[in-house]
Amino acid sequence: MRRLILSDIHANLEALEAVLADACNQYDEIVCCGDLVGYGASPAEVVAWARRNAAVIVRGNHDRACAGIEAMEDFNNAARDAALWTRHQLPYSDLAWLAALPAGPLRYELFEVAHGSPIDEDEYLVSDFEAYSVSRYIERPVSFIGHTHLQGLWSFRAGEFRKAPPVKPGQHEHSYTLDPASVYLVNPGAVGQPRDGDPRAGYALWDDASGTLLLRRVAYDIAGAQARIRQAGLPEHLASRLAHGR
């Protein structure tokens, strides 16, 4: 099966549409690693799309916050303002659906999905050491995570690990052939709010039959997403940061 792996869409419809166009006809099923909403100005559109199209979704901390089941103690002011705004935009049925999303990890035959890490949905895996520390808890050949908004792929084999090189600015994708003797931790990157300095939307494609995994970046209508955020009266920082990918 060929899967489209998405994370941290964050109500950015322009970025989501660009990813879907770029990945068109290259997948059979959609997997989401959480944070459908929060920060961006199109929560209703993104939730409606996810309800119709995603086969696998775990909840993210912003999904919990927008649904009203998270105290938001770790949220900065912009994140809290956006969560409260989002709560007012969504009908009750969408809020109830968000609140009922499962916590990761969800485990399937060949892969598992979590928001933060395989042991804690709120853990940030940024450094190689942090990734290595959770590697022994990975129970499937491939573990997909999100949360940090940093695209990346680590492989672990017999106590050794490797971080794959990132997709560089100007490159569309990196292709990896997965080794059946290794396990992998993969962050597809953020669709809606990248934070690694490359403002393009990030996503992954994985074909479990051929063992091919692609990390990709695609340009999108950043000005359009920014205009919607400003029009909604959301904090200016949430609009301006999209241009920098920070």
User: Could you list the residues that contact Zn ion (CB under 5 A)?
Assistant: 8, 35
Other C-beta atoms closer than 10 Å to the C-beta of 240 total: 13
Nearest residue (CB) to Zn ion, 36 versus 178: 36
| Shortest separation between residue 213's beta carbon and Zn ion, angstroms | 21
CB of 179 to Zn ion, least distance (A): 29
Instruction: Tell me whether residue 59 or residue 141 sits nearer to Zn ion (CB atom).
Output: 59
- Least distance in Å: CB of 148 to Zn ion? 8
Nearer to Zn ion, 8 or 123 (CB): 8
Minimum Å gap between C-beta 195 and Zn ion is 9
61 versus 226: smaller Cβ distance to Zn ion: 61
CA angle 79, 82, 87 (to 5 degrees): 125
Nearer to Zn ion, 36 or 183 (CB): 36
Residue-wise burial string across 54-77, b where 16 or more C-beta atoms lie within 10 A, e elsewhere: bebbbbbbbbbbbbeebebeebee
- Rounded least distance, CB 234 to Zn ion, Å: 15
Distance CA 165, CA 32 (A): 23
For the beta sheet containing 201-207, the strands, ordered from the edge strand earlier in sequence to the opposite edge, are 56-57, 29-32, 2-6, 201-207, 212-218, 173-177
Distances, alpha carbon 14 to alpha carbons 4, 87, 168, 213, in Å: 17, 20, 22, 24
The residue behind tokens 């695209």 is: 151
Q: Which residues pair with 218 in a beta bridge?
A: 201
Q: How far is the CB of 226 from Zn ion (least distance, A)?
A: 18
Residue nearest to Zn ion (CB): 35
Q: Which residue lies nearer to Zn ion by CB, 38 or 141? A: 38
Residue 53 main-chain phi, psi, to 5 deg: -115, -25
The residues that bridge with 185 in the sheet, in sequence order, are 143, 154
